[in-house]
Amino acid sequence: MLSEKITAEELSKIRSNITLTYGSRHFTKPIPKFELPEDGMPSDVAYQIIHDELNLDGNPTLNLASFVSTWMEPEAEKLMTQTLNKNYVDQDEYPQTTKIQNRCVNMLARLFNAPNKDTAIGTATVGSSEAIHLCGLSMKWHWRDRRQKDGLPHDKPNIVMGHNVQVCWEKFARYFEVEPRYVPLTNDRFIIGVDEALNLVDENTIGVVGILGSTYTGEFEPVQALNDALDKLNKKTGWDVPIHVDAASGGFVAPFLYPKLKWDFCLPWVRSINVSGHKYGLVYPGVGWAIWRDKNALHDDLIFHVNYLGGDEPTFNLNFSKGANNIIAQYYNFLRLGFSGYKNIMENLMTITKYLGNAINTIEELELVSDFNSLPLVCFKLKNPKNYTVFELSNQLRERGWVVPAYTMAPNAENVAVLRAVIREGFSLDMAEMLITDIQNALAKLKAIEAGIIKKIMPLGKNKKVTKIC
Ligand SMILES: Cc1ncc(COP(=O)(O)O)c(C=O)c1O
């Protein structure tokens, strides 16, 4: 039989097709980092290179810094993978996805006690931040309209909030030119004070923010007391200063764990609420929700109509395109869990929170800062941070893989430095036990360093790395 001659180039191609992934020449070359490479590489090689690099990231399950979900059921993941290619904004092409979003809005409005169930309105957003920008804008424009109607100046809007707000509120104030009026914290009050907040309100206040689950300590701000105080003030002055509740984390906790707590649309001055679907809504990042108590609370100027996708499509989001799959995953959780399912999960998280919190409180060097009446998280500090700090304790835990952020409180309580472990779905009692052991070992090591028994590699005190909290 005559053998067919093949060129060296063809031979090399055949070889590269049968080479094992780690036998690829790409593994012995620097990976392009700055310029688009001239040529590509086989898909398995590209996958493996990126996959391996990502091993340097922390382990999401051990990341107790974040409120954001790190686990979903395989069926949810399957649905999400199947709908990865859907752009949410294509409402005309994917009408069922829009219907699913609207069903979620309806369920949330009812969960949050909207007075007229049929006129509540809302939208899915990319997390609570976008929801906060939309709700903030709506409050600003309602205030502007009232002032314009009365022929009054409307160029100096302000918003009143505790200094413990998450950074998205600072962004809102700066991006949309609203003066932020912060209620300072104190050494024993880490959330808004009602009297202090009311003292900052004037005729240019577009709204007051109440946080249901402070990012710093998990505490719920006194929304009912804010409502009652504003009710009196608004009646006395004729102003119309509403409340926005930032329920980024607490919106999916309070209805299940604290059904008697009054914080939502059952209070007349609560006009809008944001909640993160990707936090205790138990969906992977990034989905949030903005809900207004009724159609009047959503300012018309936020709504745009486009016709270039076929059909008239109202949109009130900051961006245009976005993935549809986490909205679908939110609906999956609603169907799959129902009220009782969320309740069971939240109760379990609280059981683990209490177990971890109580154990931490029995450790001689530590003191609990959070309570067990708010978010499922454990916030704690060192009783005597003289010889080593929470930052060093955090770094020691990091060596074992745990991400337990250390940070200082917001202004005027910044001399209080704490650690915080957020308890999420996927964190078991067993893991809590391991964390307690590792905290004890880390403290023992820090004490040994302090006593000169172990040499410190990095000077204590200079090793202050603040982990971002979110
Ligand atoms: C109280 C509060 N508000 C807003 C946000 C921002 O939420 P998101 O990350 O969903 O944009 C956070 C995030 O942790 C938060 O804790």
Residue 116 counted as domain residue:
yes
At 91 the pLDDT is 85
348 & 329 share domain: no
Give the number of the atom of ligand 1 that is nearest the alpha carbon of residue 276: 10
255 & 367 share domain: no
**CATH number of 28's domain:** 4.10.280.50
371 & 398 share domain: yes
Instruction: Encode pLDDT of 142-168 as tens digits.
Output: 999 999 999 999 999 999 999 999 999
382 & 269 share domain: no
At 92 the pLDDT is 84
The ligand 1 site (C-beta within 6 Å) comprises 67, 127-129, 166, 168, 211, 213, 215, 246, 248-249, 276, 288, 470
Give the number of the atom of ligand 1 that is nearest the alpha carbon of residue 66: 14
Instruction: Give the distance (Å) from ligand 1 centre to CA of residue 248.
Output: 5
Say if residue 258's pLDDT is above 50: yes
Quick one: which of 247, 336, 341, 325 has its CA closest to 286?
Answer: 325
Instruction: Give the distance (Å) from ligand 1 centre to CA of residue 164.
Output: 12
Range of the domain at 51: 8-57
Instruction: Encode pLDDT of 291-306 as tens digits.
Output: 999 999 999 999 987 7
Cα 465 to Cα 407: distance, rounded to the nearest angstrom: 9
Contact between residue 202 and residue 158 where contact means Cβ atoms under 8 Å apart: yes
Residue 67 counted as domain residue:
no
Give me 79's structure tokens.
């649905």
Give the number of the atom of ligand 1 that is nearest the alpha carbon of residue 68: 9
Instruction: Encode pLDDT of 335-394 as tens digits.
Output: 999 999 999 999 999 999 999 999 999 999 999 999 999 999 999 999 988 889 999 999
255 & 376 share domain: no
122 & 190 share domain: yes
In this prediction, residue 438 has a pLDDT band, given cuts at 50, 70 and 90, of very high
At 5 the pLDDT is 74
Cα 7 to Cα 414: distance, rounded to the nearest angstrom: 71
Say if residue 109's pLDDT is above 70: yes
329 & 439 share domain: no
49 & 138 share domain: no
At 311 the pLDDT is 65
Nearest residue CA, atom 14 of ligand 1? 470
Residue 465 counted as domain residue:
no
Give the number of the atom of ligand 1 that is nearest the alpha carbon of residue 129: 11
For 116, residues 6+ apart whose C-beta sits below 8 A from its C-beta are 294
Structurally, the chain folds into a number of domains equal to: 3
Residue 457 counted as domain residue:
no
Say if residue 462's pLDDT is above 50: no
Indicate the residue among 334, 362, 379 that finishes a domain.
334
Instruction: Give the distance (Å) from ligand 1 centre to CA of residue 343.
Output: 22
Residue 72 counted as domain residue:
no
34 & 105 share domain: no
Instruction: Encode pLDDT of 166-215 as tens digits.
Output: 999 999 999 999 999 999 999 999 999 999 999 999 999 999 999 999 99
Nearest residue CA, atom 7 of ligand 1? 128
Query: Could you identify the residue written with the tokens 């039989």?
Result: 1
Instruction: Give the distance (Å) from ligand 1 centre to CA of residue 369.
Output: 20
Quick one: which of 137, 286, 294, 276 has its CA closest to 215?
Answer: 276
187 & 170 share domain: yes
Name the residue of 135, 165, 166 to mutate for ligand 1: max ligand atoms within 8 A of Cβ: 166
**CATH number of 387's domain:** 3.90.1150.160
Give the number of the atom of ligand 1 that is nearest the alpha carbon of residue 130: 11
Residue 456 counted as domain residue:
no
Average pLDDT for 303-316: 74
Name the residue of 249, 278, 377 to mutate for ligand 1: max ligand atoms within 8 A of Cβ: 249
Instruction: Give the distance (Å) from ligand 1 centre to CA of residue 447.
Output: 36
Say if residue 285's pLDDT is above 90: yes
Query: Could you identify the residue written with the tokens 């009446």?
Result: 373
In this prediction, residue 40 has a pLDDT band, given cuts at 50, 70 and 90, of very high
151 & 182 share domain: yes
**CATH number of 138's domain:** 3.40.640.10
pTM of full prediction above 0.75: yes
Residue 63 counted as domain residue:
no
Instruction: Encode pLDDT of 407-416 as tens digits.
Output: 999 999 999 9
Instruction: Give the distance (Å) from ligand 1 centre to CA of residue 68.
Output: 9
Indicate the residue among 311, 334, 357 that finishes a domain.
334
Instruction: Encode pLDDT of 10-31 as tens digits.
Output: 777 766 666 688 887 788 888 8
Cα 193 to Cα 255: distance, rounded to the nearest angstrom: 23
386 & 245 share domain: no
Instruction: Give the distance (Å) from ligand 1 centre to CA of residue 110.
Output: 22
Mean pLDDT over each residue of the chain, to the nearest integer: 92
Say if residue 467's pLDDT is above 80: no
Helix H, strand E, coil C: the string for the chain is CCCCCCCHHHHHHHHHHHCCHHHCHHHHCCCCCCCCCCCCCCHHHHHHHHHHHHCCCCCHHHECCCCCCCCCCHHHHHHHHHCCCCECCCCCCCHHHHHHHHHHHHHHHHHCCCCCCCCCEEEEECHHHHHHHHHHHHHHHHHHHHHHHCCCCCCCCEEEEECCCCHHHHHHHHHCCCEEEEECCECCECCCCHHHHHHHCCCCEEEEEEEECCCCCCCECCHHHHHHHHHHHHHHHCCCCCEEEECCCHHHCHHHHCCCCCCCCCCCCEEEEEEECCCCCCCCCCCEEEEECCHHHCCHHHCEEECCCCCCEEECCCCCCCECHHHHHHHHHHHHHHHHHHHHHHHHHHHHHHHHHHHHHHCCCEEECCCCCCCCEEEEEECCCCCCCHHHHHHHHHHCCCECCEEECCCCCCCCEEEEEECCCCCCHHHHHHHHHHHHHHHHHHHHHHCCCCCCCCCCCCCCCCCCCC
Name the residue of 125, 165, 168, 192 to mutate for ligand 1: max ligand atoms within 8 A of Cβ: 168
Instruction: Give the distance (Å) from ligand 1 centre to CA of residue 193.
Output: 20
Residue 260 counted as domain residue:
yes
Burial class (CB in 10 A: 0-12, 13-18, 19+), 25: exposed
Cα 376 to Cα 202: distance, rounded to the nearest angstrom: 35
Cα 254 to Cα 251: distance, rounded to the nearest angstrom: 6
Instruction: Give the distance (Å) from ligand 1 centre to CA of residue 155.
Output: 28
In this prediction, residue 314 has a pLDDT band, given cuts at 50, 70 and 90, of confident
Name the residue of 215, 252, 379 to mutate for ligand 1: max ligand atoms within 8 A of Cβ: 215
